[in-house]
Structure 1
Amino acid sequence: MRALEWALVMTQLAAAAGLAWPAQRDARLRLGWAALLAGLLVLQPVLEGYRWQLWGLYAGSVLLAGSQLLRGRRLLAGSSLALLALLSAAPPLLFPVPQLMPPTGRYAVGVTSFAVTDPVRKEIYSNNALDARAVLVQVWYPAVPAPGAQRGPWLENVEQLAPMISRAIKMPDFLLDHLKYGVANSYPNAPIISTPALLPVVHFSHGWDSFRTQSTFLMEELASHGYVVVSTEHPYGAVGTIMPDGRVLQHNRAILPRGAPADVYHAAAMRQAGQWVGDTQLVLGYLRALPQTEPANQLAGRLALDRVGITGHSNGGGAALEFCSRSPQCGAYLGFDPWINPVSEQARSAGLAQPALFLFSDRQSLTGWNPQENQEQFAQVRPNLRGRTLLLTMRNSGHYDFSDLPMLSPLAPLLGLKGSIDGERALIIVRAMSVAFFDEYLRGQPQLLLQNPTAAFPELVNSSS
């Protein structure tokens, strides 16, 4: 909860306690309580913004202010009002405004977004076979923000995106309206740092029915340590994509036909992964061409694109694995609960020559994620991992503990968005392991953490040997 939201709760409880205290007879004191409640009732929506979860607190403030003015005899008793204040605090506590973990690196973080259209590939999932494939890209990078610069939102176009996320977790459209108040730790279009060396690049692909900023906690962390992190939103597989021209590309569930025979489903999953691999190639090619196509772009000529870190979550992790099996441009692979079903037989057999870090969850999800089934398919890949490989499982974690989504609510475990592991602890582990992995294999800086990760994080199980 935000500061003035807490102030409303605590003031209501104090005012209700005052009503229950017979010694409170001073009309000036009661008038002071009423004025304080009225002031907070005005200031909170103005300074912090209204959200539906606060309706109970607003109503309670009106009742308490009135009870103070009427000596508590004509409305509700003080004890009843105290109970009402506690009950009214539940919705904003259960659905707080998201607060992202601040990054720990030496650099401030800039962020920018843009669309890229493929000059060759056609869109295979839209209703128009002539549509060109286009993706939305967000980039985080080490920056030097101007004095007084303001941090940007966690989600762009949140008014359209929040209802889509609500529907994805099978909740009413209005439930996450308050996400519009979520603020990131990054500064839109801030100047990139000046350094003679090329900046290392990491590409991220989100999961099925998700979005490009699903793991902003990690994107900002890597950027604060000097990486340029490129996250591609894959239309029709994402929860919903709002293009710069205003087009809304809705999630297409038919891409993965649930209930279809296993071979039909696997073929559909491979087709989806192939499309996402093409998206990654498109975006990296676009960035490489910037010095010729957009020399004024501050990313032009600043990126080390010969060896790129490739990472992803769930479907995105499977597509990233497929990409690394095909492309020497992949310098290191990091998979967060990568879904193995869409990985082709050729990629399973070829495996990876690059260094790889796999971080798995161990808890079945209410959303349908089954770690055991995924591990059975991963068994076909594991013998063919030829580079240095770390296989780690985070105890008591769920499929979405590698993303920002658990911070949406303390009810996240009940919604199938996380395991029983402490949410902040899970994110700390993910950030530390990711930075160490890319520092060693993209920058060539040996990391003690990779030698014995379970010593630093007992929550991890190492099955690499």
Structure 2
Amino acid sequence: MAVGRAPYKCYSCGKDLWNKVLVGGEEMRGYIEWYYYPFYGAFLASLLVYAKMKRYSFFANSFNHSIWFLNMKNRTFFIYILAFFLSIIFHMAFPVTAMEFPSGPYDVGTQIYDWTDHERLETYGDEAGTNLRKIKVQAWYPANTVEGFEQLPWIPEGRVVSRKLARTFYFPPFMLDQSEEVLSNSYLKAPVLSQDKGYPVVVLSHGWSGFRTLHSDLGELLASHGFIVLGIDHTYGAPVVVFENGEEVSIDGEALPGRDDPDFLKYAEVFINTYAEDISFVLDVITDSDGNQMDEALRSLLDLNKIGLLGHSTGGGAGVKVAAMDPRVRGIMGLDPWVEPLSNNIVKKETTASYLFLRSEEWKGHKNDVNLCEVLNNNNQAELFQIQGTTHVDFTMIYMYSPMTSVVGLTGSLDRDRFEEIQETFVLEFFESSLQGLQRDYGDYLEDNYPEVFRVPSVKNQ
């Protein structure tokens, strides 16, 4: 039986990003090299112990030599036992977690694009004011067949993204490498499932320091239920964006300073406007009959009369601005949408779009609530629900990295499966209602069946 290491290359830039073990030509997942670092360290440590003891044994008599040999064996044994338990802890704390299979009847295809906005110059980074703005967009859609097509990793750019993310948490850079082994439920360039009418469209936008596949569970969910989802990597707002030519653009830490900066909200408004312009640009691309930045077979099946937005944090706030200004948008769902930096003319604007906001318990009483209340009070088709036992990052897939996120307070106390069930129900019911015209009072259903969920009855003082 042949065993080998096969390089997995980045789908766009061709770099070797991670390795998988092949047994007899078949893939055997789960080999994570850094899990075994304690054993490498134990081996080196045992050599040092041996060398130290050997140095002094030259002068020892036979009795002392026996004591030396016993001590060396005991110390080496202890080192390897410690290494064994450390390796087990690493496996448990940072496992390779399988993505949940989407609940809809359709298989999911995916395509990934680099799009350049020829009408806008870059705001951030070394190329600010000189180069054109570029973003990365991933489409999830109902597939006709997935047989024979590549099942894409959860994070196609693999180690490039995981190591950038590790640095943001002050982890050793290798500590999130196991995410490279996680497969998505999407198949690269699988043919779209044709039908007489088009599919409703949802544009998905991540928050500050997030990235598009941090919400790919929602992208796959909607695609499996008959939507086409376009997820954006917001350049300079994501940990890193890897373009097809191999260019890597890291997050611009100066784009959003700390709250102690007197100009914090000015920076924040520019930043959230950049996200909003990215979303508007995506809408322009898909509605441009002469556009050539998207696969024509996929674009031809977009129902451009049924466009919705879904965003987390900064992405949600940017979606609120776009929905307030762009009549093409029929519904916006915000997951802890960060609307604090939005101007008064945006938060007080009445629109015909439907609004649904989910708020984490952590963000109740946040400064964000002032503008959030204005948005809700100025729109008749707007609702706010709070989910108890949750934090701001519960709305992402950060749990995929470790089950310890709730222990360290990164995610909330609400059971993850329970939260996913609630979130997915909200997402599906809202977009089927706002885009498909299926009238349902999903709020009453969720409140009746999930005591963790409650409708905020009067948003003015919540």
TM-score if structure 2 supplies the norm length? 0.81
Say if 1:290 and 1:299, in contact at 8 Å, map to a contact too.
Answer: no
**CA displacement 1:412-451 (0-9 Å, x = unmatched):** 1355531111122212211111001101110011235344
Deviation at 1:169, TM superposition (A): 2.1
Supply the AA of the counterpart residue of 2:255.
I
Secondary structure at 2:366 match in 1: helix
Deviation at 1:377, TM superposition (A): 3.7
**CA displacement 1:63-94 (0-9 Å, x = unmatched):** xxxxxxxxxxx9679x9788875553111110
> Separation in 2 of the partners of 1:446 and 1:199?
18
Supply the AA of the counterpart residue of 2:355.
A
Deviation at 1:363, TM superposition (A): 2.2
Q: Please, which of 49, 53, 71 is the counterpart of residue 35 of structure 2? A: 53
Secondary structure at 2:298 match in 1: coil
Deviation at 1:373, TM superposition (A): 2.4
2:47 corresponds to: none
Supply the AA of the counterpart residue of 2:169.
I
Q: Please, which of 395, 400, 406 is the counterpart of residue 402 of structure 1? A: 395
Say if 2:422 and 2:446, in contact at 8 Å, map to a contact too.
Answer: no
Say if 1:185 and 1:220, in contact at 8 Å, map to a contact too.
Answer: yes
Alignment of 1:350-429 (within 5 A): 350-363=349-362, 372-387=366-381, 389-429=382-422
> Separation in 2 of the partners of 1:412 and 1:371?
23
> Separation in 2 of the partners of 1:175 and 1:279?
32
**CA displacement 1:199-229 (0-9 Å, x = unmatched):** 0000011000111111111111111000101
Deviation at 1:328, TM superposition (A): 0.7
Alignment of 1:95-114 (within 5 A): 95-114=94-113
Gaps of 5+ in 2: 1-20, 44-71
1:125 corresponds to: 124
The number of residues matched between the two structures is 410
**CA displacement 1:353-412 (0-9 Å, x = unmatched):** 321111010126xxxxx753222442333321222x221111010111111112211221
Deviation at 1:57, TM superposition (A): 7.4
> Separation in 2 of the partners of 1:103 and 1:428?
11
Alignment of 1:4-403 (within 5 A): 48-56=30-38, 85-128=84-127, 129-259=129-259, 261-262=261-262, 264-289=263-288, 293=292, 297-363=296-362, 372-387=366-381, 389-403=382-396
> Separation in 1 of the partners of 2:335 and 2:399?
15
Supply the AA of the counterpart residue of 2:228.
V
**CA displacement 1:218-258 (0-9 Å, x = unmatched):** 11111100010111111111111111111111111111122
Secondary structure at 2:405 match in 1: coil
2:52 corresponds to: none
TM-score if structure 1 supplies the norm length? 0.80
> Separation in 2 of the partners of 1:59 and 1:123?
46
Deviation at 1:149, TM superposition (A): 3.4
> Separation in 2 of the partners of 1:154 and 1:415?
24
> Separation in 1 of the partners of 2:421 and 2:154?
19
Q: Please tell me whether residue 433 in structure 1 is matched to residue 426 in structure 2.
A: yes
Percent same amino acid among aligned pairs? 28
> Separation in 1 of the partners of 2:457 and 2:149?
45
What is the alpha-carbon root mean square deviation over aligned residues?
3.1
Shift in alpha-carbon separation, 1:422–1:153, aligned structure 2, 3 A? same
> Separation in 2 of the partners of 1:448 and 1:260?
42
> Separation in 1 of the partners of 2:299 and 2:29?
39
Supply the AA of the counterpart residue of 1:432.
T
> Separation in 2 of the partners of 1:444 and 1:416?
39
Deviation at 1:306, TM superposition (A): 2.8
Deviation at 1:309, TM superposition (A): 0.8
> Separation in 2 of the partners of 1:386 and 1:198?
28
Shift in alpha-carbon separation, 1:335–1:105, aligned structure 2, 3 A? same
> Separation in 2 of the partners of 1:148 and 1:331?
37
Shift in alpha-carbon separation, 1:146–1:87, aligned structure 2, 3 A? closer
Moved more, 447-456 or 401-410: 447-456
> Separation in 2 of the partners of 1:127 and 1:57?
43
Shift in alpha-carbon separation, 1:341–1:192, aligned structure 2, 3 A? same
